[in-house]
Amino acid sequence: MFNLVRGSGIKRTEVIETGEPCVRYGELYTTYRSEITLVASHTSGTVYAKAQKLLDGEVVATLTGENDIDIGRAVVNNTGETIAVGGDLLALKGNYLDGNFAMLSLNAPYMGSQRTAAASGNIIVHLSADKIGNFLMAVPPLNEQRRIVRRCKALLSVLG
């Protein structure tokens, strides 16, 4: 269905004001709620060239966090750009998965219970790519995924 690709480290000192787009794991908790529409961070061309990439429409999830409830938080790249992915992040890549559907599914309560059960650690909580790869997720055909996303967006816009 999809491949799991772990991000590569982008140090705080490698983040610059302008340059190539990148995302670091802390930003999934502080900057982005469910999607990236405009990147907050940039890095040099050299760091970008070495980093793993998140294509437009793909999902990235956290592998490290402060608690087992927030671990595995997922955000979709809706920038229209390819973004470099920092460490402690996991990109979900696949041709048969709508990124917005995957983000909604991964952040749903059922998946949250799987994330919490799979997490390990006390002070810093970790989740491995192998454990995420074993999660059960219902995946309808692509056109149905897109219909579900449209309906969810319509409902969420009404709720504000």
CATH of the domain at 94: 3.90.220.20
Q: Say if strands 59-62 and 64-65 run parallel, antiparallel, or are unpaired.
A: unpaired
Residue 57 binned pLDDT confidence (cut-offs 50, 70, 90): very high
Strands (E), the chain: 3-6, 15-16, 20-23, 35-36, 41-43, 52-54, 59-62, 64-65, 74-77, 83-85, 89-93, 125-126
pTM: 0.90
What's the average model confidence in pLDDT over 41-60?
A: 96
Instruction: Name every residue whose Cβ is closer than 8 Å to that of residue 69 and which is 6 or more positions away in sequence.
Output: 112, 116
Query: How far is Cα 54 from Cα 128, in angstroms, rounded to an integer?
Result: 18
What is the CB neighbour count within 10 angstroms for residue 35? 15
- Given a cut of 90, is residue 74 above it in pLDDT? yes
Determine the structural domain holding residue 13 and report its residue range.
3-159
Residue 71 binned pLDDT confidence (cut-offs 50, 70, 90): confident
Structure confidence at residue 112 (pLDDT): 85
Q: For 92-137, write each residue's pLDDT tens digit.
A: 987 788 999 999 999 998 888 888 888 888 788 888 888 888 888 8
Structure confidence at residue 65 (pLDDT): 81
C-alpha to C-alpha distances, 117 to 70, 100, 110, nearest whole angstrom? 12, 24, 11
- Given a cut of 80, is residue 2 above it in pLDDT? no
Quick check: 10 and 24 in contact, CB under 8 A?
Answer: yes
- Given a cut of 80, is residue 62 above it in pLDDT? yes
Give how many domains the chain has, as a whole number. 1
- Given a cut of 80, is residue 1 above it in pLDDT? no
- Given a cut of 90, is residue 58 above it in pLDDT? yes
Structure confidence at residue 140 (pLDDT): 94
Structure tokens given for 73: 């938080």
Residue 67 binned pLDDT confidence (cut-offs 50, 70, 90): confident
- Given a cut of 90, is residue 69 above it in pLDDT? no
